[in-house]
Amino acid sequence: MKVTALKIPDVKLIDPEVFEDDRGYFYELFNEKKFNELLGKTYRFIQDNCAYSKKNVLRGLHYQLNKPQAKLITVTSGKIFDVAVDIRKHSPTYGKYVSAILSSENKSSLFVPEGFAHGYLVLSNFAEVQYKVDSPWSKDSEKTILWNDASINISWPKINGQFILSEKDRNSSSAIQVLGL
């Protein structure tokens, strides 16, 4: 397993060691001991989630205010453009974002620590996204930042057609309202 820090160093791209031959391939999707050793901190993921989405679906930017979650995101089928926005008020990268392409082909995962808003855009015909979280979902704590907020200025990939958004994501708050940017 190889761990690479992105431009916001707390967000990590994780590439597994893949064993491939004429029959197919094998890799460890997650190994808690190796993961925690490589990150230098102990995380205990308590829940696995799976989301299936069609092409052009954009989910996010979601976060939990009072009960923040660390996430480990993996695409088991398809391809996504994944984004993490730093919402930690005293961070030098506050209000900045990092992105990565995750796909079933590259087998990469993205580790997003607590204190980040998260979202993604489906680039393939469909995508199955699995993610581990280290604390439970809390409806009362969940918040959403507008996906195209000008103060964050995410460079979303160009697509054919329109982004497909949930009502919650269409009606989310601006970063100025949420973060004071």
Catalytic residues: 62, 131
Q: Which helix (H) or strand (E) holds 64?
A: strand 58-64
Label residue 87 exposed, middle or buried (CB < 10 Å: 0-12, 13-18, 19+). buried
Q: Where are the alpha helices (DSSP H) in the chain?
A: 32-39, 167-170, 175-179
Report the alpha-carbon distance of residue 102 to residue 75 in Å, rounded: 6
Lookup: tokens for 21: 């031959």
